Structures are given as structure tokens and as C-alpha cells.
Chains A and B, each alone.
Chain A
Amino acid sequence: MTSKEALYHYVLKMGDSSLIMGHRLSEWTAHGPVLEHDIALTNIALDYIGQARMLLTYAGELEGKGRSEDDLAYWRDAAQYRNSLLCELPNGDFGQTVVKMFLFDAFQVELHEALSQSPDEQLKAIAIKSLKESKYHLRYSRDWVLRLGDGTEESKIRIANGLEAVWMYFGDLFAPSEGESVLVSDGIVPETASLRKRVEETLRKTFEEATMAVPDFDAVMQEGSQRGIHTEYLSYILSEMQSVTRMHPGATW
């Protein structure tokens, strides 16, 4: 596999993850617990989707078959999606949503930080741009993990249950995209083990500070996203997202 093909798969994984994360989070719009957090969750969803647009546009260029961001988003089925499994999981309650966001944001900050040094100019530009936003996202989700984890009896139960529900999907964030090893040896993307170590450090510190039980980092995790094997939740979110485009191909207004 050429470096360019491998980069296509890598960028596609990133773009799909941001898109599905953003689309799922947007389900909170008009359903937030209070107005400020309705606005916050919607803002963050918008950032994720903005990042997805940059990434999917770039993936389309790398692929070289003339596919646009919209072609990639609306005309692929679940088996062709490469988003991390974590992103497609249902929102659950607010506790589950913020802990899911926290795992993703901790990963994103480290990934964007590392890619800010990439010799690939476009990936680097996207990473530098996204890092500014990811830090805000992490600050938000981390604050809520601390507040709920070290909060009331009820909030402690909610956040612990939320973490329990999503934990088995944490490992899939690091599942290598097709041909990723080529990119690692060329120094274009960071090596997974060191990236994972840094993310786990953020998690460990935060969960300890939140007086929560630190989950088992060596637990057996679900995987499969990089082979197109997803949870049952992805096809539902895709069918909703894609329904109008597929009903009226090429429609403009």
C-alpha cells in the first residue's frame, strides 16, 4: 500500500469519527438539561462536524476518485464507515454522554497535538486548527466528569454507570487504520502505544481526582471499526442522516 492510500484510510477514520460523534451529540439539541448546556453540547457538536468536513474533504482528495465530503458522508453504508465504535454509541443520560465525550476528547487532544508536527502539510493544518477546539471540548467534558464523579450520590451512580457502559469501546479508538504502520514508519502519524499512554494518563488523573474507580486499562475491548464491523447503532444513525439525500439525489435549494 502506498503512503497516500494509507493516509486516505487514516484521514477517513478521523473524519468519520468526528462526523458520527458530532451527529450523535447533536441529538441533545433542544434536549439539554439546562439552556447553557444545551448550547454547549450543540456548539461542540458543530465543532466536530466542522472538523469532519475538513477531514472528509481531504480524504476525498487523497483517494483521488473525485468524491466530495458529501459523497463520503451520505453515500456510504455502515460497513464502509471507519469511525471508532465509541462515537456511534447512544447518548444515554447526561452522565454517559459527558464520560463518552471525555474519552474521545482526551484522545483527540493528544492526537491533534501529535499531528500538529506531521510533515503532511494539510493534516498538520487541520490538526493545529482542531487542537484549539479540542482543548475547549476536553475542558468541558473533564469538568463534568469531576463534578459528577465527586458530586451527589445520584450523580456518582450515573457517571459510574455511564463509564461502565462505554468502557469496552475505549480500546477501539486506537485500532490502526488500514496501512497505518506505513505512516508510522514514515513519521507522518504518531505511534499508537505512546499516544495511548498519554491518553490513559489523562484518564487516570481525572478519574482519581473525581474520586471514581479507575477502569481496567488492560480489559478486553471491543474492536472491529477498522474492518467495517460496527455496533448495531451505526446503521440507524446513518439511515436517519442520509435519508433526505438518498431520497432526492442531487437536490439543491
Chain B
Amino acid sequence: MVKSPATEKAWEVLEEVKDPEIPVLSVVDMGIVRSIEATPEGLQVVITPTYSGCPAMEVIENEVRQALVDGGFGNVEVRSALHPAWTTDWMTESGKQKLLEYGISPPQHSTVDKSVLTGEAKHVVCPNCRSTNTRMQSQFGSTPCKALYVCNDCLEPFDYFKCI
């Protein structure tokens, strides 16, 4: 990606736009912002949905546009692209750390599609006591991207960010 002062500033602005469902993560941490390009017509931003049914996407699109306009960018075009499909591998390391501190167990490294069919991800970390002795309670949680887990050691129920 070509970096220019304008696009670098835009990335900085978007670091401050939080995911409405997970307010500790920015849309950049989430890997939702795919590219920012400065063109003579204005700034072109490409975002990608996490889950196709994620109701937060429209809010995110509006907030991204608003933040850039407020940040002094005149013409901003925000476009949504499906391809390549979003994966939890795009979440930044600092994003994963912030998630854990917030109380959501972050997704494991490297998405292996087959793991979805063969069994749950191993070593899901309890955000309360950091034990990996945890069990899945339900594959579906409070938002499309999360599953419900319980820690066998400290008995804390928690959200796990699913790998896709």
C-alpha cells in the first residue's frame, strides 16, 4: 500500500473510530478498514464486513465517513468490498491484547477452516485468570462474532472471539 501523508493521517483518524459492539477496538484493530487511497477526487476508503449479517456495519460505515470529514478530509467515499473475505487473522496484535484486557478471549492464530467442523479451537484463554482449561458453552454468543465459553478453573463465563 502506498503511504502518503494524507493516507497516514487518515489511518490515524480511523484508529479512533471504535467498533460499536466492542468499544475497546478500533475499526483498524479489527481489520475492517482494508485500504485508504488519496485520489484527486478525494479519499477512497475500502471496508469489509466481518459477518455478512453484522448489524454494526452500517453504523461503522457512517462513523468512518464522519470521522474523516471531521478530520478535515473533504470528499470521502467509503466502499464495502466482500473480497477477500474478512478473517480474524487480520486483527492486530495490539487489538488482541486489548480484547483480552477487556474480558473477551481473542481469536487464535491462523484460521483453519476445517477446525470449525472437526472441533472447537484449543487453548481458549480465560480473560479472568488466564487459564486455558476452558470449555465451550455455546458456539453463538452476544454478537455474530463471538462464542460463549466457561473457565473450568475460576468458573468465569466469558465471550470468545470466533476464528473465521
Contacts and interface: CB of A to CB of B under 8 A. Distances in A.
Interface of A: 22, 36-37, 39-40, 43-44, 46-51, 53-54, 121-122, 124-126, 128-133, 135-136, 138-140
B85 A139 contact: no
A50 B140 contact: no
Nearest to B143: A43
A138 B137 CA distance: 17
21 contacts: A36-B148, A39-B138, A43-B53, A47-B53, A50-B52, A50-B54, A54-B52, A54-B82, A128-B82, A128-B85, A130-B52, A133-B51, A133-B52, A133-B53, A133-B164, A135-B113, A136-B162, A136-B164, A139-B116, A139-B117, A140-B140
Interface string B67-92: 00000000000000011111000000
Nearest to B111: A132
A161 B54 CA distance: 34
Contact of A121 (B83, B86, B113, B148): B83
A50 B51 contact: yes
B82 to A, nearest CB: 4
Contacts of B52: 47, 50-51, 53-54, 129-130, 133
Nearest to A55: B52
Contacts of A130: 52
Contacts of B51: 46-47, 50, 133
B55 A46 contact: yes
B47 to A, nearest CB: 14
B4 interface: no
Contacts of A51: 52-53
B94 interface: no
B85 A136 contact: no
B100 to A, nearest CB: 22
A39 B141 CA distance: 7
Interface string B109-124: 0000100110000000
Nearest to A58: B82
Contacts of B84: 128
B139 interface: yes
A129 B53 CA distance: 11
Given A46-B53, A51-B52, 8 more contacts: A36-B140, A50-B53, A121-B83, A125-B82, A128-B82, A132-B164, A138-B117, A140-B139
Interface centre among B83, B140, B148 (most CB of A within 10 A): B140
Interface centre among B86, B113, B139, B142 (most CB of A within 10 A): B139
Contact of A125 (B85, B138, B140): B85
Interface in B138-160: 138-142, 144, 148
B117 A43 contact: no
A128 B83 contact: yes
